[in-house]
Amino acid sequence: METKVPKRLIVMAVLTVMVMVSGCITSNGDDDIVKTGDLRTEDYFVELGPAQNVKINIEMGTGELEIRPDATKLMEGTFTYNIDKWKPRFTYDPEGNIWNLTIRQPNADIEVESDARNEWDLSFGTWVPMEMNVEIGAGTADIAVAGLDLASLSIAIGAGDIALDLTGNRVDHLIVRVGTGNGRVNLIVPDYIGVQIQPTQGSGTVIAPGLEFRDGNYFNDVFDSSEVFILIAVDIGVGDLVVLETP
């Protein structure tokens, strides 16, 4: 349809520096633009430790993010960047019964050359209950959650496109919030679990073939009979929402 383990970090790092040079940060005269250095690729992982529930916070100022559900540990990630000041930082600390894992891009507000790169390829373990919050200033997010024991997922991008695959079997409800100020949102949703989508758009089109539109929401055919639901709120300032339902 179309309408208008203690408290400290448990992180082990395996550095695979593609070019073994320091890659110092320098400024470009009075413009104070940070020049790109050598391209680095670094692999990190985070052990689960004593945590039984985890909240994942991903804070990226600018770049490309990919998330998959196939880690053998809590988190395994490959980080590629050519601005030394963008070396990712991690914290993993308890807050009551929940442990908070934060992956953050520092110095996100610096001005850089146009060929700057920042790419995070992350995977997470499927056996631990978690919530996930993703914030990106400008960039893209390509996220698949099949198998993850997610209770909630929030994705916000100031400017950029979001691709989100919500297929996979679920035994509990999932609450999803997706937002971009300017960009396209592509959703892949299952046809065997109840799905409700509530879109809010400043300007753009909703393309959702096979879904029923009523009372400002989109529903798939099994929503009324399903015991498990995926409830999705989508907020787009300028851009389209495209929904694909798949077996």
User: What pLDDT does 247 receive?
Assistant: 87
Helix (H/G/I), strand (E/B), else coil: 160: coil
Measured distance CA(179)–CA(183) in Å, rounded: 9
Mean pLDDT over the full length of the chain:
89
In sequence order, the 6+-apart residues with CB closer than 8 A to the CB of 129 are 52, 53, 54, 149, 151
What is the number of residues in the chain?
247
Phi, psi of 85, rounded to the nearest 5 degrees:
-70, -5
Look at residues 209, 230, 224 and name the one whose alpha carbon lies nearest to residue 145: 230
Helix (H/G/I), strand (E/B), else coil: 210: coil
Supply 45's token pair.
């992982």
Q: Model confidence over 138-162: pLDDT tens digits? A: 999 999 999 999 999 999 999 999 9
- The structure tokens 């413009």 sit at 31
Measured distance CA(190)–CA(160) in Å, rounded: 24
In sequence order, the 6+-apart residues with CB closer than 8 A to the CB of 165 are 143, 144, 145, 146, 188
Q: How far apart are the first and last CA of the chain?
A: 18
Supply 178's token pair.
């997706």
Phi, psi of 172, rounded to the nearest 5 degrees:
-130, 165
Exposure class string for 105-130: b at 16+ Cβ within 10 A, else e: beebebebeeebbbbbbbbbbbeeeb
Out of 3-7, 52-56, 128-132, 225-229, least confident range: 3-7
**R_g over Cα of the chain:** 19
User: What pLDDT does 31 receive?
Assistant: 63
Residue 2 pLDDT grade (very low, low, confident, very high; cuts 50, 70, 90): very low
Exposure class string for 203-213: b at 16+ Cβ within 10 A, else e: ebebebeebee
Is the pTM value of this prediction over 0.75? yes
Number of domains in the chain: 1
Q: Is residue 19 pLDDT above 50, yes or no?
A: no
State the average pLDDT over residues 196-200. Answer: 96
pLDDT: which is higher, 27 or 244: 244
Decide: 38 and 18 in contact? Cβ < 8 Å: yes
- Residue 89, domain extent: 2-246
